[in-house]
Structure 1
Amino acid sequence: MSPFVTYQADVKAAEGELLIHLSDRAGLQAQALGAHLGLLRSELQRLAEHPSLRPEDGVAGPELALLENAFGHTSLFSGGVALVSATGQRIWSDPVNMPLGRTALTSRPWFRRMMEKQAASVGLVDEEGGGLIAVAVPIVRDDHVVGLLVGELATASELLPPHRGTNESMVALLGERGRLLLPATPPPLLRQVDLAAHLRPLVDAPGAVTLGGARFLGAAALVPGTEMLLVVLEDEARDRALLKRRYLGQLGTHTALLGGVLLLFTVLLRRSYRSLMAAEEHLRRQETMAALGTASSLIAHEVKNALNSMQAALSMIRAKGGETALPVQALRSQADRLGHLARSLLSFASPQSTQQRSCEMHLLVQDALQAVRLLPEAADVAVETSLQEGLFVKGDPTLLVSAVDNLIRNAVEAGAVAHDTGQQPTPRVEVRLLREGAEVVLLVEDNAGGVPPAFEPRLWEPFAVGRSRGIGLGLPMVRTAIRAHDGGSVSYTRVPGGSRFTVRLPLEKMAS
């Protein structure tokens, strides 16, 4: 009995939730329809208050131009717009043959309400046929209604979305005297004479209602500013069938859960195995990196010793122009490149400790730019700068200059490669230094084509090389140097035609 009792309780609770949903939906759609009609009333009211509109004197040239400009071929009112006298006579309309009902307008309830209250009114143009809704606004002069503006709407095309199928809720709209306005082609169950008597109680008490021998769950709401009734209906049999399928689905779910325990255990076991393998791989890479660090230190020391001798010899050479000038310049350029390599290897092998001091980023970036401009590749790459001054950070100037130098150097070398291979005839590097909130932001952007997509996951790994130049230590050293500063970060972004590296450092807090 327990599953059956639970099923009955679930069905009752679900029906209660559905009725709340239908009530909310009916209220929202009625409010939306009322707001739509209110906007239309406001549009008519705007012109009705125009001082030059005097319908009691007929329509003169200026008044005709005013009406034509405001409502001529308007898309707001599908049935048209008319200027009517206080006695219900047409003075002007667009279109000229705009229908105004089979009987006199003065017999319409909305017309009488408007004349009595001197306020805008909404109702059917004609209860006996046509299905048009009239939005009427009085023209008041000296506390007397001297005329009115009437806009007509075709209910089937403007007020509510059409009913699309049997699986959707049915929405019905009734006029103030209970006449069905929507749907335009109603099903047989909505064609009964006492339809309004069945549906109006749903305003105060949403629930079940029988129409045409079928039971429905429904809710209703009055459209604000009108006497129209909006009703939302759901097929009770269809909803109960859905609930039954839901109940059977729950039983199937419980059964599947029992069988899924073994699958979950298997998945967890596989994940644990993969985690173990990843930890072993991480340990192996750490051991490899430690060995590489030791080897890098030995290689860097040997290279540095040889470079010291080379630079001492070069300093003794006095280039006198002619044939010796170019070779000496080439030797010095290559010596500088090897020097940068040796410093990178030494920094990777034994990272420096940070020294915190006040640094102006503008000067540090200038130092890095000065060193990069001496590179042979810089001759083929345009370096554009926009550096904001007076931005101070708390950090290690040596590490920061090294990080900035590596970023700009990588961008220049990438541009030179793109130029040499014909991929970019005009390589360019843009260096910007600016403030964003409480951070100093350095942007280094190039147009050298960007990092190959397959290489992006390894972009920050040591000794991972994505181009023909370099040994793959520049970007890892940049990340290490920037992260050594509290709140510092560096990121890569692919931009159209190239790459952008963004460095963020917190501004130094100045003592007040």
Structure 2
Amino acid sequence: MGLALLGVVALASPLLAYREDLQNAREEVLGNLSSQAQVQAEALGVHLGLLEAELRRLAEHPQLIPEDGPSGLEAVMLDNAFHHTPLFSEGVALLTASGRRVWSDPPQMSLGASPLTSRPWFRRVLEEGVSEIHLLEGTDGPLVVAVPVRHGGKVTGLLLGELRAGARPLPGVRSGGADVSLLLDQQGQLLLPVPTPRFTWNAERAASVRALADAPGPIVLDGTQMLGAAARVPFDGVNGLLLAVLEDEERDIARLRRRFLGQLLFHVALLGSTLLFFTFLLRRSYRSLLAAEERLRHQETMAALGAASQLIAHEVKNALNGIQAALSLLKPATSAGEAALPVLRSQVQRLGHLARSLLSFGAPRATPSRRSCELRLLVDEALQSVRLLPEAEDVALEVTLAEGLTVHADPALLVSAIDNLVRNAVEAGAVARDTGLRPSPWVRVSLAREDNEAVLRVEDNAGGVDPDLEPRLWEPFATARAKGVGLGLPMARTAVESHGGHLTYTRLPDGSRFTLRLPLESIP
């Protein structure tokens, strides 16, 4: 549970960072759009101010009287000022209050199809005496800058300059492509770009765009999610002009999203691998801790058993010494008593072996006393003590020993280990005969050389180890025999392994095989 919670926290952190990075990126884009809109609006205001000032400079000239018709002086003055002027790409015209053309450059300059007097912007110039910036046809045509011409305190006409509404009609205003710049008048009329962009324009949309001046943010135009900002054009001649800059949010944010997503995946992979590695180390440490605790419990148990075994062994050994002394003094008076003496001596030997096993288990040798040993002689020594067992009379013992196999070992430890293996096999064979399992039990002891090892095999046909006991075969005090204490095999294995060897068990079809392997002594 704790690891799962740690994983959730580790993975949630980059996810939250990813969301925050996207939000910061969106705010950065909006900030850039706001700056861009402000710069473009200021540039447009300066440019429109220049255009309006140039027209107003001539409109205020006292000799410019539209209703009198074009005089030579007026024509010369207008030609000098506006002939092929770069300020107005479509031309300049002098109009009367009735909309009649007095002068224009070029002479065929288009004034639209409908009467000028029917257009709202034309009437506002005449009625209010203010400059106007609008589309020539109201919703279409070139962008016009109209300045009133006064004479005697009365508006008698106007000067009209036309600008081509192309892709870049004015400095700082751009349109087309993924980015769109919009110029709106005070009534929400879309002045630029012309023609109208791919989205539908209406009063509701104009209000949404105007709101961007106070709060830059997302705006949806005909299903396209865009980010936008707007700024008011600082132009004294006309109030209410608004410049809006829109960018496709999906295009701008998608690139950042891909980059942030790549970083997120990298961080998730890094954190995930770190978490997995940490989990692996934690589980391994936990298993090591459990194993150490188990070893400690086992050592404590063995120490307690060893202390108890030593105490019992000393008491048994002391009693056996007295019994052996008494047996040596007995002189049987009858044949029955004569027959009982070997049985008593056999049981004393059995108890003596038990006492020695308990002593060896309770106080093993700290440092084995090793020397070069002929392994065949050690096996013979062990077999001699086994042949004295009463059970040996009922079990056929087959021995095949190779000579010349020398090991560097503690002879007492190896003799005890071999004695335990052969003794167990003989006693198991006797039990199998007594229970009727094997009428003719046998034990085979063979010693041979295999590569650089001496291999001793002890086999029997006594039916094998109880399957339930096999998993605990090498544990102390694990035994299925009524007469056994379960110390022989663990002590034998410990002795063999202390010499760099191995002791293994193999189940045979009708019995058991114990294989003892020891490294041969190297000859210098």
Q: TM-score range by the shorter chain?
A: 0.3 to 0.5
Tell me the TM-score normalized by structure 2.
0.46
Query: Which of 1 and 2 has greater Rg?
Result: 2
